């Protein structure tokens, strides 16, 4: 998946007259400032996501999100690898390649559509709409970060959100196995 996302992003950037790989990574604030802001925002988003999961643990949308990601192998360092590949690959594609062409809002709609399989949206019910709205909001926030701070910061924020969420899901999965046993 990482290779596919990165290849698609690079192809779009190659054929885009106004953007290039060097342009998208050099845009925004100084790279060291992007790292600092990305780390701070990433930790804030990850913490918010954690408390959101915990406080909403009985809600149907949280249960469905947990179920959709429970099919992943979250053993060992897999949450780190999944987070790194999704953070880099998706941000390069959505914020680096598509956002300059489509804008933040349309790119965020495409981001939600791209996650239909991962979240297993079989029916568009109230639960799915809450999940889609959360994805859309997260995508828009990442788009604003990429636009006003830089792509490096957006990659770092996305990566930290994914890693922390996947470790949280691993803990939930392990507790469920212990409670069942």
Q: What average pLDDT does the chain have?
A: 86
Q: pLDDT confidence of 120, banded at 50, 70, 90? A: confident
Given a cut of 70, whether residue 130 has pLDDT beyond it is: yes
Given a cut of 90, whether residue 160 has pLDDT beyond it is: yes
How far is the CA of 25 from the CAs of 86, 149, 150, 152, in angstroms?
Answer: 17, 11, 7, 7
What pLDDT does 1 receive? Answer: 59
Q: What percent of the chain has pLDDT over 70?
A: 88
pLDDT in tens, 77-104: 999 999 999 999 999 999 998 999 899 9
Q: Indicate the burial class of 42 (C-beta count within 10 angstroms; 0-12, 13-18, 19 or more).
A: buried
What pLDDT does 2 receive? Answer: 54
Q: Stretch 157-164: mean pLDDT, rounded?
A: 95
Distance between first and last Cα of the chain:
34
What pLDDT does 90 receive? Answer: 93
Q: Indicate the burial class of 98 (C-beta count within 10 angstroms; 0-12, 13-18, 19 or more).
A: buried
pLDDT in tens, 14-24: 667 666 677 78
pLDDT in tens, 31-59: 999 999 999 999 999 899 888 888 887 88
User: What residue segments make up the domains of the chain, in order of their start?
Assistant: 31-180
Instruction: Provide CB contacts within 8 A for 125, sequence distance 6+.
Output: none
Range with top average pLDDT, 65-74, 154-163, 171-180: 154-163
27 by DSSP, 3-state: which? coil
What pLDDT does 62 receive? Answer: 79
């Amino acid at each position: 998946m990482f290779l596919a996302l990165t290849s698609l992003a690079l192809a779009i950037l190659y054929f885009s007259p106004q953007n290039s790989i060097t342009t998208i990574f050099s845009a925004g604030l100084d790279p060291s400032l992007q790292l600092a802001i990305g780390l701070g925002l990433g930790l804030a988003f990850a913490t918010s996501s954690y408390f959101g999961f915990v406080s909403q643990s009985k809600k149907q949308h949280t249960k469905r999100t947990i179920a959709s990601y429970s099919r992943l192998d979250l053993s060992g360092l897999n949450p780190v690898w999944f987070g790194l590949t999704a953070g880099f690959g998706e941000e390069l594609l959505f914020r680096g390649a598509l956002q300059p062409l489509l804008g933040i809002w349309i790119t965020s709609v495409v981001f939600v559509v791209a996650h239909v399989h991962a979240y297993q949206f079989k029916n568009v019910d109230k639960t799915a709409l809450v999940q889609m709205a959360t994805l859309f909001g997260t995508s828009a926030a990442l788009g604003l970060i990429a636009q006003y701070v830089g792509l490096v910061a957006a990659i770092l924020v996305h990566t930290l959100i994914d890693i922390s969420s996947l470790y949280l899901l691993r803990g939930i999965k392990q507790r469920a196995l212990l409670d069942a046993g």
